[in-house]
């Protein structure tokens, strides 16, 4: 296996149109990157997520943004619920519809769980760093927990208010963001990516 390529330069494009993610990524990578911009700010189109895995979609989004000439980082993530055969999984954003209605998406998850004993779930985060020549470095992180109902807490985004991480009494929606960054799937993935490309 060849050695991983390291991040060089000072500007990184965050290849995401999700403001919650862009904020978390800038917080997690702040110490290693001088300047951030995002696909949204640059007016780059949102590529169609045609991959069949988190990793395939992260690589496709990162490569699409890096083709514009700067190194780009994409995150493809979602909530996997074993009792729902892995749904919403890579369709986590799509379950919220064009209006990005996560109250509705969480209700849909809850409706599927009625009468089921297994309320376990995990978040997955695939991160892909892409170079303008098409090279990518990709990692995947996880965080396991349980789904609660009704949703709790004003923080975070997406499915956070119904996700109770293992070993904790507060949902990601109730938790201080600093605390979420100590244990989330995104934090797990970033620990691996920093080790590989940013140190
Ligand atoms: O593709 P981009 O532009 O980055 O933005 P997106 O919101 O479409 O992102 P994804 O395709 O990766 O879909 C992931 C969805 O999974 C959910 N999700 C991911 N990480 C999460 C987190 O930390 N907390 C709560 N929900 C999360 C959230 O609803 C996201 O919209
Ligand atoms: Mg998306």
Is the CB of residue 12 less than 8 Å from the CB of residue 3?
no
Burial classification of residue 115, based on how many CB atoms lie within 10 Å of its CB (0-12 exposed, 13-18 middle, 19 or more buried): exposed
Nearest CA to ligand 1 atom 15: 93
Give pLDDT, residue 7. Answer: 94
Q: pLDDT tens digit string along 13-71? A: 999 999 989 999 999 899 999 999 999 889 999 999 999 999 999 999 999 999 989 99
Residue 62: which domain range? 11-198
Q: pLDDT tens digit string along 89-130? A: 999 999 999 999 999 999 999 999 999 999 999 999 999 999
In a domain, 36, yes or no: yes
Share in percent of the chain as helix, strand, coil (round to 5): 35, 20, 40
In a domain, 113, yes or no: yes
Query: How close is the Cα of 123 to the center of ligand 1, in Å?
Result: 10
**Res 1 pLDDT > 70:** no
In a domain, 69, yes or no: yes
Query: How close is the Cα of 76 to the center of ligand 1, in Å?
Result: 7
In a domain, 5, yes or no: no
- Predicted complex: ipTM over 0.95: yes
DSSP string, 19-83: HHHHHHHHHHHGGG-SEEEETTTTT--------SSHHHHHHHHHHHHHTTSS-EEEEEEEEE-GG
Pocket probe mutation, ligand 1, options 59, 93, 163, 185, max atoms within 8 Å of Cβ: 93
In a domain, 27, yes or no: yes
Q: pLDDT tens digit string along 127-148? A: 999 999 999 999 999 999 999 9
C-alpha 59: how far from chain center: 13
In a domain, 173, yes or no: yes
In a domain, 76, yes or no: yes
In a domain, 133, yes or no: yes
Domain of 180, CATH number, reads 3.90.950.10
Measured CA to CA, the distance from residue 73 to residue 16 in angstroms comes to 8
- Give the total number of structural domains in the chain: 1
- Model confidence at 178, pLDDT cuts 50, 70, 90, reads very high
Tell me the whole-structure pTM to 2 decimals. Answer: 0.96
Q: Exposure pattern of 15-32 as b/e (b: 16+ CB <10 Å)?
A: bbbbeebbebbeebbeee
Give pLDDT, residue 199. Answer: 85
Pocket probe mutation, ligand 1, options 62, 92, 98, 190, max atoms within 8 Å of Cβ: 92
């Amino acid at each position: 296996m060849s050695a991983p390529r390291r991040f060089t330069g000072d500007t990184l494009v965050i290849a995401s149109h999700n403001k919650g993610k862009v904020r978390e990524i800038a917080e997690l990578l702040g110490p290693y990157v001088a300047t951030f911009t995002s696909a949204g700010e640059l007016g780059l189109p949102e590529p169609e997520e045609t991959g069949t895995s988190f990793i395939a979609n992260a690589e496709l989004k990162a490569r699409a943004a890096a083709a514009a000439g700067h190194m780009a980082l994409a995150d493809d993530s979602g909530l996997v619920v074993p009792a729902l055969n892995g749904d919403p999984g890579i369709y986590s954003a799509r379950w919220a519809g064009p209006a990005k209605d996560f109250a509705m998406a969480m209700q849909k998850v809850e409706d599927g769980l009625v009468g089921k004993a297994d309320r376990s779930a995990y978040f997955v985060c695939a991160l892909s760093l892409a170079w303008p020549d098409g090279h990518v470095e990709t990692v995947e992180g996880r965080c396991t927990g349980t789904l609660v109902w009704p949703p709790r807490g004003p923080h975070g985004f997406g499915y956070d208010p119904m996700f109770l991480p293992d070993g904790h009494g507060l949902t990601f929606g109730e938790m201080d963001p600093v605390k979420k960054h100590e244990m989330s799937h995104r934090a797990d993935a970033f620990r691996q990516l920093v080790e590989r490309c940013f140190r």
